[in-house]
Amino acid sequence: MKDVIKMLTSGNIPFKTDMPATLVSSYRGGGTTAVIAYPENAVALAECVRIATENGVPCMPLGNGTNILVKDGGFNGIMISLIGFRNVTRHGNSLVCGAGAGLAGIANTAAGYDLSGLEELSGIPGTAGGALRMNAGAFGRELSELVDSVTVYDAEARQVRKLTRGEIPFSYRSSGNVFGKAVALETTLLLTEGISVKEKSAFYREKRRAKQPCAPSLGSVFLKAENGMSAGYYIEKAGLKGARIGGAEISEKHANFIVNRGGGTAKDYCSLMSLAHTVVESKYGITLEPEIVIVGGE
């Protein structure tokens, strides 16, 4: 990584090295990340991608780390922080949101203008970029329903371009492979004039808070089953609530959450994932698919 560090330095791009997962992942456990770069604009972000490509090291965007688990062996690549892309600007009934802007903050901004559409998503802790990639949703609402366009840096074409909603194959918790090849810079969300938007947002935030644990976690571990039932339903039915390996535990409050009870490692987390996957498949013939992103080695 010496050449990477040298090139980032010469390009005047701020970065940090050997970042522990306690500062990267909301699970607060796992390995270190070799380099986290902090580009302040699209030109600098493009330079980060070029540096990673030329040095043959993996790179990936980083929002709030709310669904990223770094394996205990660490991520020997570059995470590109989107903290410099947090703008949220109103244009009529639309909000133009930087990919690093928190979805909860975007929803609060919309509520402040009495713009409706984001109420159900107001408690989601991730960023706009992450929410786009996984088509975040809650209480029957998905972000894709509100997307008008997304401005991306296309790593293959090496240019910034705008994608319309129709160019992104959104589906349940997926945006196809669009954001595997491009980094979201900002998105325009189409909202509508509403009534009592603040009150509705507060209602959904409280509803979310009441059903989910407050200990460090990565949110929902598994996607819904193919039959539409929640993964948590099967994990709870299998009697796995409260199961613990090392410092990780399947939450007593919500069975589709794995929480860090202190000193939890990525291995602890993955072991509980494997346990839930195996038991649910054995008992009910249901194959659970992960919702979280796992990076790194060992």
Tell me the mean pLDDT in the region 135-157: 96
User: Is residue 271 over pLDDT 90?
Assistant: yes
Q: What is the pLDDT of residue 103?
A: 96
171 as an active site residue: the answer is no
Per the residue annotation, which of 86, 173, 208, 261 is the catalytic one? Answer: 173
- The confidence score (pLDDT) of residue 10 equals 96
The string of pLDDT tens digits covering residues 61-104 is 999 999 999 999 999 999 999 999 999 999 999 999 999 999 99
The pLDDT value given to residue 268: 98
| Beta strand 137-138 pairing with 244-245 | unpaired
Distance, CA of 72 to CA of 94 (rounded, Å): 42
The pLDDT, as a whole number, for residue 175 is 96
pLDDT given for residue 12 in this prediction: 96
> In the annotation, is 173 catalytic?
yes
The residue behind tokens 């580009």 is: 39
Q: State pLDDT tens for residues 26-51.
A: 999 999 999 999 999 999 999 999 99
Question: Where does the pLDDT of residue 160 fall: very low under 50, low under 70, confident under 90, or very high at 90 and above?
Answer: very high
pLDDT in tens, 216-258: 999 999 999 999 999 999 999 999 999 999 999 999 999 999 9
Pairing of strands 141-142, 137-138: antiparallel
pLDDT digits (tens, 9 = 90+) for 190-207: 999 999 999 999 999 999
CA atoms of 226 and 50, how far apart (whole Å)? 39
Query: Above 90 in pLDDT, residue 298?
Result: no
Could you tell me the two tokens for 83? Answer: 């903290």
What pLDDT shows up at residue 108?
96
Residue 10 known to be catalytic = no
pLDDT tens per residue across span 230-239: 999 999 999 9
Backbone angles phi, psi at 49, to 5 degrees: -65, -40
Cβ-based neighbours of 121, under 8 Å, separated by 6 or more: 103, 107, 131, 136, 137, 138, 141, 143, 204
Q: Residue 192: which H helix or E strand, with range?
A: strand 192-193
Please state the rounded mean pLDDT for residues 129-137.
Answer: 96
User: What's the pLDDT at 181?
Assistant: 86
Q: What b-and-e string marks burial along 150-170, b requiring 16 or more CB atoms within 10 Å of the CB?
A: bbbbbbeeeebeebebeebeb
Average pLDDT, the chain: 96
Which of 122, 201, 220, 251 is an active site residue? 220
Percent of the chain with pLDDT over 90: 98
Single out the catalytic residue among 145, 236, 281, 291.
291
* Separation CA 26–CA 24 (nearest Å): 7
CA distance 156 to 149: 20
